[in-house]
Chains A and B, each alone.
Chain A
Amino acid sequence: MYCYNCGCHLSEHDFCTACGADVSVYKKILSVSNMYYNEGLEKAGVRDLSGAVNSLRQSLKFNKNNIEARNLLGLVYFELGETVAALSEWVISKNLRPEKNIADDYIERLQSNASRLASINQTIKKYNQALAYCYQDSRDLAVIQLKKVLSLNPRFVRAHQLLALLYMDGEQWERAERELRKCMDIDRNNTQTLRYLKEVERMLVPDESVRQGAKRKKEETVRYVSDNEMIIQPLNVKEPKNSGVSTLINLGLGLVIGIAAAYWLMVPAAQSKAKAEAQKTITEISSQSDAKTARIQELENEADRLAEQIAELSSEVEGFVGTGGTMQTFDSLLTTAADFVKNGDNAATAADLENIARTVNLEETSEGFQALYRTLLETIGPELSVTYYDEAYEYFRHEEYTAAIEGFTNAVYYDAANVDALYFLARSYHKNGDDGQAVETYQKLLELFPESNRVRDSRQYLRELGVTTE
């Protein structure tokens, strides 16, 4: 507490120890302010917000510098939904005490959330609009607007009160009561709310005359009007006394209904669960079956492939072992060789070799087979060649050139060095009129045996045939 005259700290005396000014009245004024502050604090504690507002305003009338009272007044305004009034009190408080002031926190919290501040402003604007609608007698619009306001700020007591007043004007007493109860939850001792509530309750309770008349009747009722409807509510209705049997019947019925409900609710669920499990099992078995089918198919394919391999190998074995097979050809050649060594029969050996040459392609046989075959052929070849030459020459002399050609061809086949056989083969072609073969054979002779005594004659015949040589 400071002296109003010099600003010095005041002592317990009724005068300022610094300037000597009389501060007794001043001290009383400040103590009254503090008393109102305490009263306001108590009222705010029990949610008598209207009372708190009055007390705190009184406190500030005595001492405008009572910062605690002003901050609390701001809080109470804020709780009542009067945000701008709250903000005003806190701003003034901050001006009066710029430092170590809780109002600073309140202002910062409010201003830091821009969307909330905008929402508060919207609420106020809508409330003012609703009030304007009321003055214009557009009460339905006012109700709609106030509902919007309260959805944005459910603690706005004045909006609740105005809405309740509109409901009361429309004789919607229950709705009005609901709004007023909400007001009471926020501010328990608001005179206006209490007055409205009293009126609403008066309209909701039955008439005295109606109540007295009803006493005579067996069934008492409460009658009241709400939303243009007459509500008749029976009072003191008692259950019938013969309740023993009926209770048992009711219990039985309840039991039956319960069992039926359980059956209808639980059995389908159990069936559904069983079906789901069966379906799951079927799915698993099906997937296993599919896997096994795939495996079987794979094994069948493998079996087919192996069967094909077996068939191929069998045919190969047959090629080696069977009639006309490699093994038999080998046997024939060996038998021929053995017979030749044993008997020395060139003709029989030549016949056997020709048979072998007919049954097998010599180029596809093994090296050993070919070597043995050639050895036999070279051994018996010259003698056979002479034999064939002699026979063929006889045919040549008798001008049987076709037979002669066959004989000379064999003679050349068995002894490639038999130049006479080659010469007379060419002559036989020449005589037989086969000039092309004749020229080819003459040229072959000139090429293979250039030193032979048959060369001169061969050249001469070639010239006759129109072929020039060196």
Chain B
Amino acid sequence: MINFEEELKKFHPSLEVEDAEDAIYNQDLTDMADLLVKMLKETEKEEEKKAKEV
């Protein structure tokens, strides 16, 4: 049985044209490739640190 109140919560106000600019700026564009590059760079840094300590 469908609960109207619960279903209504799933509907959200739609973005208006004036809000499009903010929506674009605030969009999180980080992707898996970015994360990979970040991870690889962090790994490299840690390896360099360990190498210096040794």
Chain A interface (Cβ < 8 Å from any Cβ of B): 4-5, 21-22, 25-26, 29-30, 32-33, 60-65, 82-85, 87-88, 91-92, 117, 120-121, 124-125, 127-128, 131, 134-135, 158, 161-162, 165, 168-169, 192, 195-196, 199
In Å, the complex CA distance between A199 and B3 comes to: 11
Query: Can you list 24 contacts pairing A with B, beta carbon distance less than 8 Å?
Result: A5-B37, A21-B40, A22-B40, A25-B36, A26-B36, A26-B37, A62-B32, A64-B29, A82-B14, A84-B14, A84-B19, A85-B15, A92-B29, A120-B17, A121-B17, A121-B18, A125-B16, A127-B14, A128-B16, A131-B11, A134-B8, A134-B11, A135-B8, A169-B4
- A387–B10 Cα distance when bound, in Å, is 158
* Chain B nearest CB, measured from A167 CB (Å): 11
B11 to chain A, nearest CB (A): 6
Out of B15, B23, B29, which one reaches A124, CB within 8 Å? B15
Q: Does B51 contact A (CB under 8 A)?
A: no
For A117, the chain B residues whose CB sits under 8 A away are 17
Least CB distance from A21 to B in Å reads 8
B31 with A87: CB separation less than 8 A: no
Are A165 and B4 in contact, CB atoms less than 8 angstroms apart? yes
B1 surroundings in chain A (CB, below 8 A): 199
Give the 5 A-B CB pairs with smallest separation, nearest first. Answer: A64-B31, A84-B15, A169-B4, A128-B13, A62-B32
Supply 16 further A-B pairs (C-beta < 8 A) apart from A65-B31, A196-B2.
A4-B33, A4-B36, A61-B32, A63-B33, A64-B33, A87-B17, A88-B15, A88-B23, A92-B24, A124-B17, A131-B11, A134-B11, A165-B2, A165-B4, A165-B8, A199-B2
List B1-47 residues whose CB lies under 8 Å from chain A: 1-2, 4, 7-8, 10-20, 23-24, 27, 29-34, 36-37, 40
Minimum C-beta distance from B45 to chain A (A)? 14
What number of residue pairs across chains A and B have CB atoms under 8 A from each other? 93
Size of chain B's interface in residues, with CB distance under 8 A?
Answer: 28
Chain B: CB-nearest residue to A196: B2
Q: Does B23 lie within 8 Å of A84, measured CB to CB?
A: yes
Contact of B20 among A32, A62, A91, A125 (CB under 8 A): A91
Interfacial chain A residues near B15, Cβ < 8 Å: 84-85, 88, 124
B19 and chain A: residue at smallest CB distance? A84
CA distance A192 to B36 in the complex (A): 35
Q: Which residue of the partner chain A has the closest CB to B20?
A: A84
Task: Report whether A165 and B7 are in contact in the complex, using a CB–CB cutoff of 8 Å.
Answer: yes
- Least distance between B44 CB and chain A CB atoms (Å): 10
Complex interface: chain B residues within 8 A of A65 (CB): 31, 33
